[in-house]
């Protein structure tokens, strides 16, 4: 112990002198918050937040919606994961949303979100989401806050470099993280034939301007490296897309060592306009593949899943003027383009500087062929020829950068647990503030668009350690809100988040809130199983299939007594909520149904609950959403009889009364 003490003292002294004890481990947050922080984030009861913050849920496969500056959680939108809370992925109408070429995949890992844009500005219509595990891209409708569409991506594995969009939402791009043998090839090959048999893909999904409908327009076949992140150009760089990639060593084992060998990996610059033109000219090859395309039709309140069978593939090697590699130091992660479109910021996870590339210089380098050679048939631009400059000593472990719209960039430093503000023109560090701890992504409202709103930055931390009350081995994930309107960034608030937050987007609430759908018009409900009034409710048997057309209105079901169901029947409960009022969903659940959750039916909507009764008996069903003072009375019974029984099918509400002679005595006289 004594020896250790001596060592510790010397060590501590060294750290103190070098100052690194403060930069590596931030001081206690209590000291980091100034007195008026509470006032700045306080949103009085009954008042609205100024911004929506859409935060990826990571391994929960969902998107969560927070209000800012309060940090209040407003909603969780299920996208790639089933959600028992509202029946997403359980109801017959939503099950097709999670269909893939591999069957029903009820979970995913959701990392990045991107709001739709028009002319490089957020237009508040849709938000796109990537699925990292089973490669998929989703579109969430911001009128309903529901997932409207999911498209699967063939020839991909680990859809990480996604879903980033062009300035007018012409395309959503999706770069594969894992290189793999293509779907068409024989995948039964030794893993160490990676360099020969594995390839990578970048998918370009077109988005219909009016409906938002997505379609897999074409894929770019690229060398087998790992694509990490991306961002589209803006203004003069409008036609271009930039992708960070690592593992240019093309290693297939122990990547932490084997993919960190080279001093520089790459940013891939793709002229998507040219690529689009080549695709339209018929260059490229149609390949037979299989991928699911799932669309939720809100006129029917129902999804369909179609398996598509073909994709157009253009090979980067064959297109001499579309793709260029730019060397970027040490395992680049973030790849961010400033509001002017001139500066492309690469963030090497293991680099001690931040390289900033110039779009003009890249164009000149291409024109003057300032290449150091080719990588798998793609020209590699000289580092110096593309470089605008380097931010020196920014901190340790730069990951992601957003822009404040005042000529500054803010970058997260994972290793040194801080955010660092620097000037885009002179590349000088202006300010740094500790975060708690190990920040990954960050978000400024509109911070990756032409018009950032530089009021706040929200930082999403990977580790919370001592920040919240302990909750067992797993602690809450965390976001932190900073005021960035002044010279010094000021920590205002910690708020816990659900899942694990990765990239996020934020936008002024005024762009979205007034368009929010309040209820669905029952007269326009085109669900084939809709019941438009209680008089139409019924139960229909067709062999072993029974369809229950049941309605809900405060505070009863119609019908609420059903008999004549038999063991072995396949029963579909088509539940229509007749309410035409905001915020009056009704729930639906039957006692102890395996493989199902509840339904949460929105006003004017129809949702279907499948039930295969296994055992004779009486099964209660009830409303699960507290809808009125008599919510607890909103219930019913269904009788299940043995297969061979002759109990006739019957159904009613308020009519199936007991014999009056059996009434219990009244004792309150
Ligand atoms: Cu309807 Cu509670």
At 78-95, the pLDDT tens digits run: 999 999 999 999 999 999
**Ligand 1 centroid vs 575 CA: distance in angstroms?**
13
- In degrees rounded to 5, what are phi and psi of residue 451? -125, 80
- The pLDDT value given to residue 235: 98
Ramachandran bin of 210, using left for φ above 0, alpha for ψ from -120 to 50, beta for the remaining angles = alpha
Q: How many CB atoms lie within 10 A of CB 64?
A: 20
Alpha-helix residue ranges (DSSP H) falling in 182-285: 194-197, 255-258, 272-280
Extract the tokens encoding 19: 């100052």
Q: According to the model, what pLDDT value does residue 153 have?
A: 98
Q: Which two tokens stand for residue 475?
A: 């602690």
C-beta 631 within 6 A of ligand 1: yes
- Is the Cβ–Cβ distance between 387 and 355 less than 8 Å? yes
Cβ(457) – ligand 1 distance below 6 Å: no
Say how many Å lie between the CA of residue 622 and the centre of ligand 1.
8
**Pairwise CA distance, residues 551 & 415, whole Å:** 56
326 lines ligand 1 (CB under 6 A): no
Q: With 80 as the cut, is the pLDDT of residue 328 above it?
A: yes
CB of 598 within 6 A of ligand 1: the answer is no
**Residue 586 in contact with ligand 1 by CB distance below 6 A:** yes
With bands split at pLDDT 50, 70 and 90, how would you rate the model's confidence at 385? very high
Q: Which two tokens stand for residue 117?
A: 């844009």
Answer for the pair 57, 509: CB distance below 8 angstroms, yes or no: no
**pLDDT exceeds 50 at position 12:** no
Is pLDDT of 18 > 50?
no
| Cβ–ligand 1 contact at 634 (below 6 Å) | yes
Is the pLDDT at 22 greater than 60? The verdict is no
How large a percentage of the chain has pLDDT more than 70?
95
Q: Which helix (H) or strand (E) holds 422?
A: strand 418-423
Least trusted range by pLDDT, from 15-19, 340-344, 356-360, 610-614: 15-19
Q: Is 556 in the pocket of ligand 1 (CB under 6 A)?
A: no
Q: What is the mean pLDDT of residues 285-293?
A: 97
325 prior amide bond cis, ω within 30: no
Q: Does the CB atom of residue 627 touch ligand 1 within 6 A?
A: yes
pLDDT of 563 higher than 60: yes
The CA 554 to ligand 1 mean position distance, Å, reads: 6
Question: Average pLDDT, stretch 338-348?
Answer: 96
Give the phi and the psi of residue 167 in degrees, each rounded to 5: -60, -30
pLDDT digits (tens, 9 = 90+) for 248-275: 999 999 999 998 888 899 999 999 999 9
Q: How confident is the model at residue 14 (pLDDT cuts 50, 70, 90)?
A: very low
- Give the model's confidence band at 32: pLDDT under 50 very low, under 70 low, under 90 confident, else very high: low
For the CA of 631, the nearest atom of ligand 1: 2
| Cα separation, 357 vs 335, whole angstroms | 10
Residue 343 has pLDDT above 50, yes or no: yes
> 625 CB under 6 A from ligand 1?
yes
Say yes or no: CB of residue 566 within 6 Å of ligand 1.
Answer: no
**Nearest atom in ligand 1 to 586's CA:** 1
Interval 489-501: pLDDT, tens: 999 999 999 999 9
Nearest to 291 by CA among 305, 303, 304, 307: 307
pLDDT at 350: 86
Degrees, nearest 5: CA angle 516-521-525:
120
Q: Decide whether any atom of ligand 1 lies within 6 Å of the 560 Cβ.
A: no
How buried is 159 (Cβ within 10 angstroms: 0-12 exposed, 13-18 middle, 19+ buried)? buried
27 — pLDDT class (breaks 50, 70, 90): low
Q: What's the 444 CA to ligand 1 centre distance in angstroms? A: 40
Closest CA to 115 of 520, 509, 518: 509
Task: Indicate if ligand 1 lies below 6 Å from the C-beta of 494.
Answer: no
Alpha-carbon Rg for the chain, nearest whole angstrom, is 28
Cα 655 to middle of ligand 1, angstroms: 21
Q: Distance between CA 37 and CA 577 in Å, rounded?
A: 44
Average pLDDT, the chain: 94
Q: In this structure, what are the phi and psi dihedrals at residue 220, rounded to the nearest 5 degrees? A: -105, 120
DSSP letters of 507-564? EEGGGTGGG------GGG---TT---SGGG-EEEEETTEEEEEEEEETTEEES-EEEE
Q: Is 42 in the pocket of ligand 1 (CB under 6 A)?
A: no
For residue 652, report the distance from its CA to the centre of ligand 1, in Å: 19
Distance, CA 76 to ligand 1 centroid (Å)?
21
What number is the average pLDDT over the span 220-225?
A: 97
pLDDT for 669: 61
Among the atoms of ligand 1, which is closest to the Cα of residue 627? 2
C-beta 635 within 6 A of ligand 1: no
CA of 668 to the centre of ligand 1 (A): 29
Give the mean model confidence (pLDDT) for residues 46-75: 98
- Residue 57 Cα to ligand 1 midpoint, Å, equals 29
Structure tokens at 150: 């999911």
Atom of ligand 1 nearest to the CA of 624: 2
Cα–ligand 1 centroid distance for 590 (angstroms): 14
Mean pLDDT confidence for 89-118: 98
Interatomic CA distance for residues 130 and 228, integer angstroms:
12
**pLDDT, mean of residues 101-111:** 98
* Atom of ligand 1 at shortest range from CA of 632: 2
For the beta carbon of residue 74, count every other beta carbon within 10 angstroms. 13
Q: ∠ CA(186), CA(187), CA(189), 5° rounding?
A: 100
Q: How far is the CA of 237 from the centre of ligand 1 (A)?
A: 54
Rounded to the nearest angstrom, the distance between the alpha carbon of 91 and the centre of ligand 1 is 18
The DSSP code for 199 is B
Residue of 499, 382, 435 whose CA lies nearest to 64: 499
Question: Does the Cβ of 626 fall within 6 Å of ligand 1?
Answer: yes
Question: What does the pLDDT look like over 520-532, one tens digit per residue?
Answer: 999 999 999 999 9
Per-residue pLDDT tens digits for 394-443: 999 999 999 999 999 999 999 999 999 999 999 999 999 999 999 999 99
Residue 666 confidence class, pLDDT cut points 50, 70, 90: confident
Inform me whether the pLDDT recorded for 551 exceeds 70. Answer: yes
For the segment 7-19, the average pLDDT, to the nearest whole number, is 38
């Amino acid at each position: 112990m004594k020896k250790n003490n001596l060592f510790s003292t010397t060590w501590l002294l060294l750290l103190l002198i070098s100052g690194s004890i403060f930069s590596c481990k931030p001081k206690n947050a209590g000291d980091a918050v100034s007195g008026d922080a509470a006032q700045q984030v306080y949103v009085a009861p009954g008042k609205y937040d100024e911004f929506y913050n859409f935060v990826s849920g990571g391994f929960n496969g969902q998107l969560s919606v927070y209000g800012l500056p309060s940090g209040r959680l407003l909603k969780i939108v299920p996208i790639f994961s089933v959600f028992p809370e509202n029946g997403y992925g359980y109801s017959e109408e939503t099950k097709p949303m999670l269909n893939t070429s591999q069957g029903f995949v009820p979970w995913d890992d959701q990392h990045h979100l991107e709001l739709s844009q028009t002319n490089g500005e957020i237009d508040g219509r849709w938000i796109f989401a990537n699925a990292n595990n089973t490669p998929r891209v989703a579109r969430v409708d911001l009128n309903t806050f529901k997932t409207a569409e999911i498209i699967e991506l063939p020839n991909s594995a680990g859809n990480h470099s996604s879903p980033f969009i062009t300035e007018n939402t012409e395309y959503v791009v999706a770069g594969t993280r894992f290189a793999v043998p293509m779907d068409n090839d024989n995948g039964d090959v030794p893993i160490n034939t990676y360099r020969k048999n594995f390839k990578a893909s970048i998918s370009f999904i077109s988005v219909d301007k009016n409906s938002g409908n997505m379609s897999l327009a074409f894929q770019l076949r690229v060398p087998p490296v790992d694509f990490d992140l991306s961002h589209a150009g803006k203004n003069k760089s409008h036609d271009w897309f930039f992708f960070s990639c690592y593992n240019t060593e093309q290693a297939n084992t122990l990547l932490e060592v084997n993919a960190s060998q080279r001093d520089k990996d790459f940013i891939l610059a793709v002229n998507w306009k040219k690529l689009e033109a080549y695709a339209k000219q018929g260059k490229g090859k149609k390949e037979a593949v299989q991928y699911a395309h799932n669309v939720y039709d809100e006129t029917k309140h129902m999804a369909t899943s179609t398996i598509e069978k073909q994709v157009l593939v253009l090979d980067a090697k064959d297109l001499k003027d579309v793709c260029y590699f730019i060397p970027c130091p040490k395992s680049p992660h973030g790849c961010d383009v400033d509001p002017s479109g001139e500066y492309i910021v690469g963030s090497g996870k293991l680099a001690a500087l931040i390289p900033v590339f110039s779009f003009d210089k890249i164009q000149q380098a291409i024109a003057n062929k300032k290449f150091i050679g080719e990588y798998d048939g793609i020209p590699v631009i000289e580092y110096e020829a593309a470089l605008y400059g380097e931010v020196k000593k920014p901190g340790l472990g730069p990951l992601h950068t957003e822009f404040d719209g005042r000529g500054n960039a803010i970058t997260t430093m994972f290793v040194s647990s801080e955010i660092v503000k620097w000037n885009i023109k002179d590349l000088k560090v202006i300010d740094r503030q500790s975060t708690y701890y190990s920040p990954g992504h960050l978000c400024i409202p509109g911070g990756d668009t032409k018009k950032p709103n530089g009021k706040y930055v929200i930082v999403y931390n990977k580790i919370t350690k001592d920040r919240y009350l302990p909750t067992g081995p797993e602690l809450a994930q965390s976001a932190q809100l900073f005021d960035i309107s002044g010279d010094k960034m000021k920590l205002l608030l910690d708020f816990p988040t659900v899942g694990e937050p990765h990239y996020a987007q934020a936008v002024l609430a005024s762009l979205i809130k007034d368009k929010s759908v309040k209820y669905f018009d029952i007269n326009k409900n085109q669900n084939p199983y809709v019941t438009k009034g209680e008089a139409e409710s019924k139960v229909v048997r067709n062999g072993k299939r029974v369809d229950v057309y049941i309605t809900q209105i405060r505070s009863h079901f119609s019908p609420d007594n059903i008999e004549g169901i038999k063991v072995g029947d396949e029963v579909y409960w088509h539940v229509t909520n007749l309410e035409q009022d905001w915020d009056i969903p009704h729930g639906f659940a039957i006692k102890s149904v395996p493989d199902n959750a509840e339904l949460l039916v929105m006003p004017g909507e129809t949702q279907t609950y499948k039930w295969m009764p296994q055992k004779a008996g009486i099964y209660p069903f009830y409303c699960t959403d507290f809808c009125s003072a008599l919510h607890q009375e909103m219930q019913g019974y269904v009788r299940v009889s043995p297969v061979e029984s002759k109990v006739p099918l019957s159904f009613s509400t308020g009519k199936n009364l007991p014999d009056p002679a059996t009434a219990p005595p009244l004792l309150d006289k």
